[in-house]
Amino acid sequence: GENVEQHPSTLSVQEGDSAVIKCTYSDSASNYFPWYKQELGKGPQLIIDIRSNVGEKKDQRIAVTLNKTAKHFSLHITETQPEDSAVYFCAALLLTGFQKLVFGTGTRLLVSP
Amino acid sequence: GAVVSQHPSWVICKSGTSVKIECRSLDFQATTMFWYRQFPKQSLMLMATSNEGSKATYEQGVEKDKFLINHASLTLSTLTVTSAHPEDSSFYICSAPGTGGILYGYTFGSGTRLTVV
């Protein structure tokens, strides 16, 4: 089945720095890659997503890049702020059988003032 | 945007009792609802997929007689943890594809923290 690997597991940056989180997936048929932000005790919130027919997408300080050939995608956060501190999950949509999202293992981002 | 309302946000129950968690799609019809379980500092693991008007599909290793899922209407899906035990203590989250289908984003509920004592 689909497997999504995510790195790093923890990431500490200073306010204003950039943060990059990387994910790889195994199923070449996957075509939808969302990123979620999860704060403590809350459900995940979609922050950005990308479809396989696009190589890059940007929304203000957040961008996602996708390399279909290498089967990896990355989240880029620029000008980080303390409120960006949270756990971030990547996911890939598994198209075989029942369509379902497969999540990465998560990255705990800590932005220090 | 699409909103999934999940209740309760937290619940404490005694071992051997049952607990029901509800997820409602507030401004759209959810023909499919995904149920996840998340242990502390871990990722979301899909437990089952419910479809309105049909039986739920359970992931390998998830006991369907223990985690009862009902999707009686296009706006309500429920998960009942039967005969709960301390090892069932976890964060349970539901999710539904938004309007337009699966490739138009998933909306998550706010989660339910279940503690079995």
pLDDT at B60 over 80: yes
Cis preceding linkage at A82, omega within 30 = no
Q: Do B106 and A51 touch (CB under 8 A)?
A: no
Average pLDDT taken over every residue of chain A:
93
Cα B78 to chain centroid, rounded:
6
Q: What does the longest C-alpha to C-alpha distance in chain A come to?
A: 46
* A32/A94 Cα distance (integer angstroms): 8
Site of tokens 């939808």: A32
CA distance B13 to A15: 42
Residue B27 has pLDDT above 80, yes or no: yes
What contacts A56, CB < 8 A, 6 or more positions away? A50, A63, A64, A65, A66
Residue B93 has pLDDT above 80, yes or no: yes
Would you tell me which residues 79-108 of chain B have a C-beta closer than 8 angstroms to some C-beta of chain A?
A: 91, 93, 95, 102-103, 105-108
Average pLDDT over residues A5-32: 95
* Per-residue pLDDT at B70 exceeds 70: yes
Q: Is A62 a residue whose pLDDT tops 80? A: yes
Residue B43: closest C-alpha in chain A: A105
The predicted pLDDT at position A87 comes to: 97
Whether chain A has a CB inside 8 Å of the CB on B113: the answer is yes
Name the average pLDDT for chain B. Answer: 91
Which residues in B lie closer than 8 A to residue A49 (C-beta atoms)? 105
The band of B57, judged by pLDDT with boundaries at 50, 70 and 90, is very high
For residue A57, what pLDDT is reported?
Answer: 94
Given a cut of 60, whether residue B102 has pLDDT beyond it is no
